[in-house]
Amino acid sequence: MALRFACLSRGVCCVLGGWLLSLSVSLTPAAADGWPAAVRALYQIDFNGFNVGTFEFQSQAESESYTLAANARLSILPPAAAATVPIIPVREHHLKGVVDPLSAIMMLSRAASSDPCDRRIPIFDGKERFDLLLSRKGEMRVTEQAPSGQPDVAYVCRVRYLPIAGHKIDSETKFMAANDAIEVALRPVPSANVFVPYQINIPTMAGSATITSKRVEIASPGKPQIAMLY
């Protein structure tokens, strides 16, 4: 598994997980059943109102495994490293039951109930251990270039960043932990039985980041391909 961080700020890194990462996840036949055969998505990244890059996500189902890959391309440099500050050490017990950032996207795409916002996701990104706590905030209208046949309303979830270990004890961590304005809008795609991230808003100390879906393509066995263009 290769992992490279590319962050607008540490806050965006924690919540979005700016990665270049690929991995193969083994699934039981029951777990693999029902997942789309392939998903390709392209997102635009804006920071303080300026387009600064893109984020691409791909998944491929083969037999009883799922291959995930993502690539973040940014046109600005990461912020300079801060002065040395204490870091909460990551212990073995912190790593039980966690998922990596890309697997967290998979978790977001499936909900145990009709409310995709009612969940808590435990994440370890190779450096930091944190939870994302989602709760329902409202709905937003989705606008497409051409109708895809999918619902035109997305569920807006409030996202709280809960640092557990591996983080610095500094003002940015405190800001992100107290930040209640982080949002992710999840669009239901009933014909593929998934929710797709439509828009993510992340206020940080350096400014506001917005990740917006530009294209999503979903292929499922025995069903027409779904193409959503924004």
Q: Give residue-wise pLDDT tens across range 133-179.
A: 999 999 999 999 999 999 999 999 999 999 999 999 999 899 999 99
Give the percent of the chain with pLDDT over 70: 80
Q: Give the whole-angstrom CA distance, residue 217 versus residue 209.
A: 24
Q: Which two tokens stand for residue 36?
A: 């789309």
**How many domains would you assign to the chain?**
1
- 1 within some domain: no
pLDDT for 30 equals: 37
Assess whether pLDDT exceeds 70 at residue 17.
no
- 5 within some domain: no
Assess whether pLDDT exceeds 90 at residue 76.
no
pLDDT for 179 equals: 94
Q: Give the whole-angstrom CA distance, residue 219 versus residue 225.
A: 5
- 3 within some domain: no
pLDDT for 104 equals: 85
pTM listed for this prediction: 0.84
Residue reference for tokens 């950032």: 101
Task: Give the number of other Cβ atoms within 10 Å of residue 163's Cβ.
Answer: 18
- 38 within some domain: yes
> In the predicted model, what is the mean pLDDT of the chain?
82
Q: Three-state SS for 81?
A: coil
Domain range spanning residue 113? 10-229
| Size (the chain), residues | 230
- 25 within some domain: yes
Cα four-point dihedral sign 206, 106, 217, 199: negative
- 176 within some domain: yes
- 2 within some domain: no
Q: Give the whole-angstrom CA distance, residue 198 versus residue 41.
A: 10
Alpha carbons within 13 A on the beta-carbon side of 31: 10
Is 67 in contact with 21 (CB distance < 8 Å)? no
pLDDT for 63 equals: 67
- 4 within some domain: no
123 CA to centre of own chain: 11
pLDDT for 50 equals: 92
